[in-house]
Chains A and B, each alone.
Chain A
């Protein structure tokens, strides 16, 4: 992952201009995301589509892409494009909400670990270290093997609860570094209460990496959700998700390639856009980082 609109070239005209005018890659990434989101959430409202309709399960199955069906039809004569857009709704919503859950948990834990002192802090640190070294996919497989056919709500919760350790580590480091900065010291010297120092001075300043991690994290969850669906341990089958659609076409990919190709491309484009955007946010929000990269 590397959004290399070369900074060396673009920094000359950077002063005084907004980052998006000097960074066409992130502008197009943002435009792409808006298009994808609009396609998934608005287009189906205007054009009647039914991702579950099986109009003719003998004559209309496995049709290649054509004018009637831009992305062809699947084994049950369902329109792949409709399924792709509805699947995008589910996949994108899952990714966004799961990331919200994990970012919230991670910020709370990281802030607690960074701001606490003594035994409590070393305890919180140890627990975080342990959680960080657990392979997430294996735990998820165990969870979904034990409780198969999760509802969307439970699926989101489980992904969120297993995904916050990285954010916690980021926030912890940030809070720890801010705690000793001069402006925090002077606030303390002026008699600010610990909770005021924390909520007014430390927390707002430590949220930059969280925004970046959240942007990158959404892409990560999309891939993870797809992978779980492919392993057959994700959501209930009838609801289309991008990963589930790839899985549906995987067995016949050589002949009926459109079933797996289009949802795969949708995932790649979405994740690429989130990654470019995350990198651009990092450069825009973290000027020190920018100088170092330059």
Chain B
């Protein structure tokens, strides 16, 4: 296990380093730099701009800038965000808990709804319920992330009297009691989390159904049926337990999809997470923030897939000793 973990972590670090290199050189190949937009003001003289470029090290050779950036990232310093006037690291650490909360609720919601859908389909195989649920998964699979978020935002906030954006009420929050604060945060979380759930459940449902159908012809299922075990118990207890294993790998695969979904959902709902940070940094031409958040996001996805691998090994004893 330790050797496996070490190997996976080494692989993950290589991937993050690769992303960091690609993104760094991409962003620095862009015409202009953060200061050309930020200081687009006739009253700021060229000398002042040059001075700022010098202070931020933008006048040095690209390779030197790269090595300086890499060493500072290794120290945990992602540079200084020009549009937010704060260290990029602080921005990332403020955004991370919000994104984590959103992604985990979306993950749990997507898995629950997906597994439930698959169970209902398999129990009613070939009947109308199976077809309707299959159609619904297909529908939500085909919906573009941000369009679904827009429809939910426009359609549901009004009728359900829910807040239209943000992670908590901007002004009143500080005057609320702790319990009211929790309720306030939950009310803000409901719709973004619902959107992610609806976006993610079709993938789970499809794989879970295939896994269940794989297990059903097994002899132990036939034995259970022959013993007179109720069909509901056969599927929920005997089949589901064995069909859950392949689904665990989907957690790892889920991370890139969830982060992608989170980028759009956060943008639509104004949820102050990493996705919104990335999108806003494009708008503001804030290159340090953009580079930092893309690298951090990739590291986050890689960590998620390593976690899923470890989980998979924990649940499947056959794999535990393998490399």
Count, chain A residues at interface, CB 8 A: 49
Nearest neighbor of B127 in chain A, beta-carbon distance: A6
Asked if B202 CB lies within 8 Å of chain A CBs, one says yes
Other than A3-B134, A141-B279, A219-B142, give 8 A-B pairs with Cβ distance below 8 A. A2-B133, A2-B205, A130-B18, A226-B144, A226-B147, A230-B146, A233-B282, A267-B147
Name the residue among B11, B14, B134 with the largest chain A CB count within 10 angstroms: B134
Closest to A138 in B: B294
Whether the Cβ atoms of A227 and B264 lie closer than 8 Å is yes
Instruction: Write the A122-160 contact mask toward B (1 if CB under 8 angstroms, else 0).
Output: 000010011001111111011101110000000000000
* A residues near B278, Cβ cutoff 8 Å: 138, 141
* 0 or 1 for each of B21-39: is its CB under 8 Å from A? (1 = yes): 0110011011000000000
Q: Determine the residue in chain A with the shortest Cβ distance to B137.
A: A2
| Chain B, Cβ-Cβ closest to A271 | B142
Whose C-beta in chain A lies nearest to the C-beta of B290?
A145
A134 touches B18 (CB 8 A): yes
Q: Is the CB of A142 within 8 A of B146?
A: no
Name the A residues within 8 Å of B135 (CB-CB). 2, 4
By a beta-carbon cutoff of 8 Å, the part of chain B in contact with chain A is 11-12, 14-15, 18-19, 22-23, 26-27, 29-30, 121, 125-126, 130-131, 133-135, 137-139, 141-147, 150-151, 154, 202-203, 205-206, 209-210, 213-214, 256, 259-260, 263-264, 267, 278-279, 282-283, 290-291, 294, 297-298, 301-302, 305
From B151, which residue of chain A is reached at the shortest CB distance? A264
Whether, in the assembled complex, A113 has its beta carbon less than 8 Å from a beta carbon of chain B, the answer is no
Find out whether the CB atom of A1 lies under 8 angstroms from the CB atom of B202: yes
A231 near B213 (CB under 8 angstroms)?
no
Query: A260 in the interface, Cβ–Cβ < 8 Å?
Result: yes
In whole angstroms, how far apart are the Cα atoms of A223 and B260 in the complex?
12
In the assembled complex, 28 residue pairs joining A and B whose CB atoms fall closer than 8 Å, in A order, are A2-B137, A2-B206, A4-B131, A6-B126, A9-B126, A130-B11, A133-B12, A133-B305, A137-B256, A138-B298, A141-B278, A142-B26, A145-B27, A145-B290, A223-B144, A223-B145, A226-B144, A230-B267, A231-B279, A246-B144, A246-B147, A246-B150, A253-B150, A253-B154, A254-B154, A264-B144, A271-B141, A272-B142
How many angstroms between the C-alpha atoms of A142 and B26 in the bound complex? 7
Question: Do residues B138 and A1 form an inter-chain contact, with CB atoms below 8 A?
Answer: yes
Residue of A nearest to B143 (CB): A268
A88 within 8 A of B: no
Contact of B134 among A2, A269, A293 (CB under 8 A): A2
Q: A6-B126, A135-B297, A138-B294 are in contact. Are A275 and B141 (CB under 8 A)?
A: yes
Chain B residue, CB-CB nearest to A5: B131
Asked if B283 and A139 sit within 8 Å, CB to CB, the answer is: no
| Residues in chain B near residue A5, CB distance under 8 A | 131
User: Are A6 and B298 within 8 A (Cβ)?
Assistant: no
How many Å lie between the Cα of A54 and that of B49 in the bound state?
Answer: 42
Q: How far is the CA of A5 from the CA of B135 in the complex (A)?
A: 10
- Once A133-B301, A267-B147 are accepted as A-B contacts, the answer to whether A276 and B138 lie under 8 Å apart by CB is yes
Q: Are B282 and A141 in contact (CB under 8 A)?
A: yes
Once the chains are docked, how many angstroms separate the CA of A145 from the CA of B288? 12
Which of chain A's residues has its CB closest to B205's CB?
A2
